[in-house]
Amino acid sequence: MATPALGWNPRVAIRHLRAVDPPLARAIDAGGPFELPLRSTASIFGALLESIIYQQLSGKAAATIHGRVCSLFPRGRTGPTPQQILGASDEALRGAGVSRPKLLALRDLARRAADGSLPSLRSARRMEDEALIERLIEVRGVGRWTAEMLLIFRLGRPDVLPVDDLGIRNGYASVFRKRGRPTREELEARGERWRPYRTVASLYLWRAAERRRPERS
C-alpha cells in the first residue's frame, strides 16, 4: 500500500533494494526504519527561496536570515510572494542579511514566478523528474543539487540519486568499503540496479555517512 503523502510504497522500495544489492541491504538493516519527512512549503517559489537563502550557511544562521526576510512583509509567516520580493528594495533585503549574489538569485526567482516560467506546485507534480530539474536550474543560483533536494524533500519523488552530494559519496564509500569516494560514473552505474527507488537508497547512504562521522573523529 502506498504512503498517501508519497504516492508510492516504501516497503516495496526496501524489498526491491534488499533483493538487488546485498551490501545496501546491510546498510538498510543498520540504518533503521524508513523516514522521509516532507517539507510543507506552499509553492515551488517558496521552496526555492528558502533553499537559496540556506545555501552555504549553517542552519541556524540561514533560519535567522529567512525569518528576517519574511518579517519584511505583511503576513510574512507564510513567506513572501514573488511580487513582494520584486517590490522590496535592495537595501531592505541586504539589511535582512541577504548577500549580493543571493539577492540577484531571489530577484530572478521572483521574476520567473511572476511571469509564469517557474512551474507551480501543481504543474511540478505532473512533470517528469529530469524535465522539472531542467526547468528549475534555469533560475539563477539554483543548481542540479538544489533541484534534486526539492524533488526528494518537497515532492517525495522515489527515484532521485544526487551523485554529486558529498554525504551520498561518503555513505557509498562506507557501505561498499571503498578507500576513497566513488566517481560519479561508479555511483551512477551502481545506482542503475536501485531504480526505480534511488531516493530510498540515497536516504540510507546518508545515514551510513552519519554513522561513519564519529568514527573518523
> What confidence tens digit (pLDDT) does each residue in 68-91 have?
999 999 876 778 999 999 999 999
What angle is formed at CA 127 by the lines to CA 123 and CA 129, rounded to 5 degrees?
Answer: 135
Q: Rounded to whole angstroms, how far apart are CA atoms 73 and 91?
A: 14
Cis peptide before 196 (omega within 30 of 0): yes
141: cell is: 543560483
175: cell is: 557501505
Catalytic residues: 165
Does residue 217 surpass a pLDDT of 70? no
Rounded to two decimals, what is the model's pTM?
0.90
Per the DSSP assignment, residues forming a β-bridge with 8 are 3
Q: Stretch 186-197: mean pLDDT, rounded?
A: 98
CATH 1.10.1670.40 fits 10-37+159-216, yes or no: yes
Q: Rounded to whole angstroms, how far apart are CA atoms 137 and 42?
A: 20
Residue-level pLDDT at 78 = 78
Confidence of residue 3 (pLDDT cuts 50, 70, 90): low
Mean pLDDT score across all residues of the chain: 93
Percent of the chain with pLDDT over 70: 95
Does residue 10 surpass a pLDDT of 60? yes
Does residue 4 surpass a pLDDT of 70? no
Confidence of residue 2 (pLDDT cuts 50, 70, 90): low
The answer to whether 143 and 133 are in contact (CB under 8 A) is no
Q: Rounded to whole angstroms, how far apart are CA atoms 21 and 161?
A: 16
Q: Rounded to whole angstroms, how far apart are CA atoms 171 and 212?
A: 8
Spell out the domain ranges in the chain.
10-37+159-216, 44-143
Residue-level pLDDT at 5 = 77
| The amino acid at 145 | W
Domain spanning 44-143, CATH architecture: Orthogonal Bundle (1.10)
Give the CA count within 13 Å in the CB-facing half-sphere of 64.
6
* Selection from 169, 201, 170 nearest residue 10 by Cα: 201
What angle is formed at CA 194 by the lines to CA 191 and CA 197, rounded to 5 degrees?
Answer: 115
Distance spanning both ends of the chain, measured CA to CA:
41
Does residue 48 surpass a pLDDT of 70? yes
Provide the 8-state DSSP code for 127: S
